[in-house]
Amino acid sequence: MNVVTSAEKLKAKDFASDQEVRWCPGCGDYAILKAVQKTLADIEATTENTVFVSGIGCASRFPYYMSTYGFHSIHGRAPAFATGVKLANPDLDVWVVSGDGDALSIGGNHLLHLLRRNVDVQFLLFNNEIYGLTKGQYSPTSRAGTRSPSSPMGSIEHPLSATQFALAAGAKFVARGIDSQQKMLPGMLQRAHAHKGTSFVEIFQNCIVYNDGVFDDFTAKAVAAERQIFVEHGKPLLFGAENNKGLHLNKNTLEFEAITIGENGVSIEDVQVHDETSRNLATLLAQMDSPGLPVATGILYCNPAASYEQGLAGLTESVKSKEHGDLNALLRRGHTWTVD
């Protein structure tokens, strides 16, 4: 007699491969790897149904360290590979791992089209504002003045905001986290996984060798409470060591300004409430960069729409229908010619 038993729930360690993890000691990628493995266990993922796709760079070692299927693809082309994997087998759970250089320089065009098409994958962008694998050249996200082997006098370029790029490209899910946010990061990744369509998650990650401490102005313990704000849908945008500071939307400038509850008649009603379905609000949160405003993390934007696979499935059914006849005839209708 056959007895059907349920599969044993996997633990985080079950998603770790037998490969030695080889990033520089102290690299933020270790923390992200841990968060991802915990997330997969929490959502009860299976190793045989999960795929990690990467491009080139330090972050792109990721598939080797996961006990799942994986592709270590070519520079900047991970979104294209991931799209092919998802369209070939929509039932697969596809994650893309890339760095700021890989995704936003040579890969910028591919990422743009992944986001606008809304392919159902999770895209994790590790941002350390530098090229780590190729020894510290400045990247598209490096700040003006960054000194590196490729900018010894300091970069003169204006840095690209990965989160603003994703919002402008039409992404339907945009989140931002920090490698050290081990209590918050798995929750963000779970939300990204639950979203049907492209989920874009930017993760600020420390490169201890070539750009150590570049995010200390808002991640260091001494300043984190005053310089970070973790946004949650339906809740006031509060921050500060005593949680008594908030973001107020100035109706004249249409920009956020920091206010303190209890000062000059300011109350909790003056604090903006986060609405993750508003792209305009998400854009305002993403572009805050003045000294008096905090850096926003959490789910900045989530407003689901039909995924690319859903649209393609509908198109396929339409082609098969009697209305259009056979595919051969469909392709040859209209302006066509024959070359002898």
Phi–psi pair at 203, nearest 5 degrees? -125, 115
Q: Report the pLDDT value the prediction gives residue 1, as an integer from 0 to 100.
A: 59
Q: What share of the chain is helix, strand, coil (3-state, %, to 5)?
A: 35, 20, 45
Q: DSSP of 129-158, one letter per residue? A: SSBTTTTSB--TTPPTT--BTTBTT---SP
Q: Report the pLDDT value the prediction gives residue 314, as an integer from 0 to 100.
A: 81
- The string of pLDDT tens digits covering residues 239-295 is 999 999 999 999 999 999 999 999 989 999 999 999 999 999 999 999 998 888 999
Q: Report the pLDDT value the prediction gives residue 323, as an integer from 0 to 100.
A: 63
> Which residue in 68, 25, 73, 75 sits closest to 53, CA to CA?
73
Q: Which run of H or of E encompasses 300?
A: strand 295-302
- The string of pLDDT tens digits covering residues 79-107 is 999 999 999 999 999 999 999 999 999 99
- The string of pLDDT tens digits covering residues 12-67 is 999 999 999 999 999 999 999 999 999 999 999 999 999 999 999 999 999 999 99
- Lowest-confidence region among 4-8, 163-167, 176-180, 207-211: 4-8
Q: What tokens does 245 get? A: 């500071």
Q: Which CATH architecture has domain 21-226+293-308?
A: 3-Layer(aba) Sandwich (3.40)
For helices 78-88 and 108-117, the axis angle rounded to 10 degrees is: 30
Domain ranges of the chain: 21-226+293-308
Q: Report the pLDDT value the prediction gives residue 229, as an integer from 0 to 100.
A: 98
Q: How far is CA 198 from each of CA 274, 298, 326, rounded to the nearest angstrom?
A: 22, 16, 32
Q: Which residues pair with 151 in a beta bridge?
A: 148
Q: Report the pLDDT value the prediction gives residue 330, as an integer from 0 to 100.
A: 73
Q: Report the pLDDT value the prediction gives residue 317, as an integer from 0 to 100.
A: 73
The rounded percent of the chain whose pLDDT value lies above 70 is: 96
